[in-house]
Amino acid sequence: MSKLIYVLNGPNLNLLGTREPSVYGVIKLEDLENRLNNLAKGLGCTIEFRQSNHEGELIDWIHEAGAKKAPIILNAGAYTHTSIAIYDALKAVESDCIEVHLSNIFKREDYRHHSFISGASIGIISGFGVKSYELALMAYSEHSS
């Protein structure tokens, strides 16, 4: 049985490929999911890939992953910088979390430099576009070996 990893995506990530392609790239969310599924198979993992624009739904999925003790790769989008509720959810479950961002949040607006998610994560990967997700999947695979 392969290891299950949740890949959770926050607000506006459904617009990948069309939203500010100079910042977020041109790949669509469904293409990202396909790339990660292929990589996961090679690493002996399966992924549960989800996206929501709603904070509560992301929290419910964090709880679901926690109930399964499944690790989480989380791009919380703008909630990264605002959501104590998501931080609390991550702290409440027994699941490792790797925080990911497509862009380098530290080269952007000052308000993006603070992450509530980082304090509840085993690591952060930022600034490599869709490769950030792939690096997180590989890092988790090696971290949990």
The architecture of the domain spanning 3-143 is 3-Layer(aba) Sandwich (3.40)
Instruction: Give the whole-angstrom CA distance, residue 35 versus residue 57.
Output: 24
pTM score: 0.92
Segment holding 21, helix H or strand E: helix 21-24
The residue type found at 1 is M
Tokens of 40: 């996961």
Residue-by-residue pLDDT tens, the chain, 145 positions: 569 999 999 999 999 887 766 665 668 999 999 999 999 999 999 999 999 999 999 999 999 999 999 999 999 999 999 999 999 999 999 999 999 999 888 776 776 678 999 999 999 999 999 999 999 999 987 765 4
Instruction: Give the whole-angstrom CA distance, residue 43 versus residue 28.
Output: 23
pLDDT given for residue 20 in this prediction: 64
Candidates 48, 47, 52, 57; CA nearest to 14 is: 52
pLDDT given for residue 23 in this prediction: 61
Active site residues: 24, 101
HSE-up of 49 (CA within 13 Å, CB side)?
Answer: 18
- Residue 31 has a CB neighbour count (10 Å cut-off) of 13
